[in-house]
Amino acid sequence: AITVDPSATGATIDDTMYGVFFEDINRAADGGLYAELVQNRSFEYSTADNTSYTPLTSWTVDGTARVVDDAGRLNERNRNYLSLGAGSSVANTGYNTGIRLEQGKRYDFSVWARATAGTTLTVSLKDAAGDLAGARRVSVRGGWAKYTATFTATRTSNRGRLAVASTGAVALDMVSLFPRDTYKNQPNGLRKDLAEKIEALRPGFLRFPGGCLVNTGSMQDYSEASGWQRKRAYQWKDTVGPVEQRATNANFWGYNQSYGLGYYEYFRFAEDIGAMPLPVVPALVTGCGQNRATDDEALLRRHIQDTLDLIEFANGPATSTWGKVRAQMGHPKPFGLTHIGVGNEENLPDEFFTRFQKFRAAIEAKYPDITVVSNSGPDDTGTTFDRLWQLNREAGVGMVDEHYYNSPQWFLQNNDRYDSYDRNGPKVFLGEYASQGNAFKNALAEAAFMTGLERNADVVKLASYAPLLANEDYVQWRPDMIWFNNRASWNSASYEVQKLFMNNTGDRVVPSTATGTPDVSGPITGAVGLSTWATSAAYDDVKVTAADGTTLLSDDFSGDASKWTHSGGGSWTVQDGAYVQTDTAAENTLVTAGDPAWKDYDLHVKATKKSGK
Ligand code: AHR
């Protein structure tokens, strides 16, 4: 029974409570949300991104073509270009099975080219069966200039190739093909189906650009002085301005990021979907297994200044230095930044916090209205977590980012996680969470957990499932909320739960109590089982039945321990016909061994807990 007291006043639920976290993982940006169809368009792929890469990855050559890094380059930050011999051609294979073209749709081609003696380029779209659009001819003469052409696809194909052939010798860079039909028809835009799926969630905020992507790699810039670092932490200034001047970078997840989807595009997208932008900058301490702190004070000062400049880029008037850059990119009005994250999952709590405090002091001194979000490391509990929470609490930090990926049963069992959080301490930004799996049961466990977030909306101010996107052919992390390839996209069950909560965010919590709530102590993943926090617990006569009474599993433990396994440490044995936990592990879960197929049963687990064992 549920008892509700409508007259009682519960916590206020902010409209921004549920949002999304976009990280360029699983090809979420290039080959994903960023609508560019050409892969490695500026020939910058390198072994720094992935040991299997070359500057010609995803290109095929007919004739002579070589990638050159010399003074003839397009610009200092786009260092490689392609030198294509007379009578030669190159073709790009795109992502997944190739370039996806839809009959009747328009596609915008562009290229930067240099041909002192002049040449004619023939640009075509084909697959193994032949032409996918009428070829276009482009005359090139003189120094670097941008050339464009438009195609209308005459056939639909998922295996298209973009080919560029030249009569004479020519230098090429930034070979690009965009669908005209991007999200909101924006230039340098986003893939429509993916952007619309995210918009349909109606997220309250957009956290970007990572994750481990943000705070891993070198903290140096892309310059001659620092040796043209190809593995840098995410630095927002790399990602704004004309796309041909954006330096690409290795992505922590093992590929290259073009930065065509950069900070301007992130802010624009947040605005378009009505979400509060929430960028994260590196704190000069690396996380995600690369545990290092940078002691270079000048470098730290530069990053702090970059962060102040970022706030000016987002909020400054169009006459300010960085506000002007934003205006020149097409958005004179400020984006209205109110929150900024500093750091992500650092494992060195004290080192992180010292540096975080310097960022925070500088930001709060210049922009007192901005909430500076700290974090609590990579785990939901443990020494780093405890230390970081202590430091954050003592320093009166406004908001702390928590991350955890746990089993569905953990989510069911931890619905009350925030009930006991200090009401006077920092607020919680649950920046990343997901139950391990992409099935309906995971979504259900997440939904149950979210009721606990909502009940504690006075403490938990923001929450986002992670990761958001996954290209099915380039997966580094599962589960994910939205899946796609070069031609289609589809939602996970977790997406539907997120959508349900985001589209129906309440105004305030109505306090309620429930009795007779189901026992959630057993796991619901691919196995049925029992859980105990007590030490030396023992179970006998376990019976799992479906709602209609059908026995799905029964075990009297007459000596066969192999049917069962346990998670969370500890050891269990069969003693006197009962399954007994024989050590003092504080938390343990007993599950059926093997991998019984999950069915949509309403399960009833019954067992006798023996005493005295
Ligand atoms: O969401 C995937 C990764 O999980 C993020 O990059 C990182 O912050 C966390 O460990």
Task: Convert the pLDDT of each residue in 205-234 to its tens digit.
Answer: 999 999 999 999 999 999 999 999 999 999
What pLDDT score was predicted for residue 583? 58
Per the prediction, the chain carries an average pLDDT of 91
Ligand 1: which of 20, 22, 23, 438 to mutate, judged by most atoms within 8 Å of the beta carbon? 23
Report angle CA 569, 443, 426 to the nearest 5 degrees. Answer: 75
403 lines ligand 1 (CB under 6 A): yes
Tell whether the model's pLDDT for residue 149 goes beyond 90.
yes
The CA distance from 218 to 348, in Å, is 17
Who has greater pLDDT, 414 or 608? 414
The structure tokens listed for 1 are: 């029974």
DSSP state, residue 395: T
User: In CATH, which superfamily holds the domain spanning 18-28+185-514?
Assistant: Glycosidases (3.20.20.80)
The structure tokens listed for 609 are: 């807990």
432 lines ligand 1 (CB under 6 A): yes
Contact 14, 156 (CB under 8 A): no
481 lines ligand 1 (CB under 6 A): no
Q: Is the ipTM of this complex over 0.90?
A: yes
CATH topology identical between 18-28+185-514 and 59-181 = no
Confidence of residue 536 (pLDDT cuts 50, 70, 90): very low
CA of 347 to the centre of ligand 1 (A): 13
Residue nearest to atom 4 of ligand 1 (CA): 211
The CA distance from 124 to 577, in Å, is 74
Which residues, at least 6 apart from 372, have a Cβ–Cβ distance to it below 8 Å? 340, 342, 359, 360, 363, 364, 397, 398, 399
The residue whose two tokens read 């910058």 is 44
344 lines ligand 1 (CB under 6 A): yes
The DSSP annotation for 52-79 comes to T--TTTTEEEES-EEEE-STTSSBTTB-
What pLDDT score was predicted for residue 9? 85
Chain length of the chain: 613
Beta bridge partners, 136, equal 123
Confidence of residue 535 (pLDDT cuts 50, 70, 90): very low
Taking Cα atoms as reference points, which of 80, 74, 243 lies closest to residue 143?
A: 74
Residues of the chain above pLDDT 90, percent: 81
CA-to-CA dists, residue 94 to 42, 57, 251, angstroms: 13, 10, 18
Task: Convert the pLDDT of each residue in 555-583 to its tens digit.
Answer: 777 766 666 766 656 667 777 667 666 65
CA of 159 to the centre of ligand 1 (A): 32
The CA distance from 470 to 476, in Å, is 8
Query: What atom in ligand 1 is closest to the CA of residue 477?
Result: 2
Residues of the chain above pLDDT 70, percent: 86
The DSSP annotation for 287-318 comes to -TT---B---HHHHHHHHHHHHHHHHHHHS-T
Tell whether the model's pLDDT for residue 252 goes beyond 80.
yes
Section 402-425 average pLDDT:
94
Catalytic residues, by residue number, are 345
Residue nearest to atom 7 of ligand 1 (CA): 211
49 lines ligand 1 (CB under 6 A): no
CA of 330 to the centre of ligand 1 (A): 32
Section 132-156 average pLDDT:
98
601 lines ligand 1 (CB under 6 A): no
Section 306-328 average pLDDT:
98
Section 164-178 average pLDDT:
98
Domain boundaries, the chain: 18-28+185-514, 59-181, 529-610
Residue nearest to atom 5 of ligand 1 (CA): 211
Tell whether the model's pLDDT for residue 597 goes beyond 70.
no
467 lines ligand 1 (CB under 6 A): yes
Query: What atom in ligand 1 is closest to the CA of residue 210?
Result: 6
Query: What atom in ligand 1 is closest to the CA of residue 431?
Result: 8
CA-to-CA dists, residue 257 to 27, 59, 411, 481, angstroms: 9, 17, 34, 21
Q: Which helix (H) or strand (E) holds 200?
A: helix 192-201
Q: Which helix (H) or strand (E) holds 166?
A: strand 157-166
Task: Convert the pLDDT of each residue in 320-340 to its tens digit.
Answer: 999 999 999 999 999 999 999
Burial code (b: 16+ CB inside 10 Å, e: under 16) for 507-543 equals: eebeeeeeeeeeebebbbbbbbbbbbeeeebbbbebe
477 lines ligand 1 (CB under 6 A): yes
Section 26-33 average pLDDT:
98
What pLDDT score was predicted for residue 520? 64
Beta bridge partners, 249, equal 257
Correct CATH for 59-181 of 3.40.720.10, 3.30.70.980, 2.60.120.260, 2.60.120.200: 2.60.120.260
211 lines ligand 1 (CB under 6 A): yes
Contact 142, 115 (CB under 8 A): yes
Q: Which helix (H) or strand (E) holds 115?
A: strand 106-127
Ligand 1: which of 252, 376, 403 to mutate, judged by most atoms within 8 Å of the beta carbon? 403
ω before 349 within 30° of 0 (cis)?
A: no
Taking Cα atoms as reference points, which of 74, 133, 35, 16 lies closest to residue 463?
A: 16
- Find the range with the poorest average confidence among 107-111, 175-179, 363-367, 516-520: 516-520
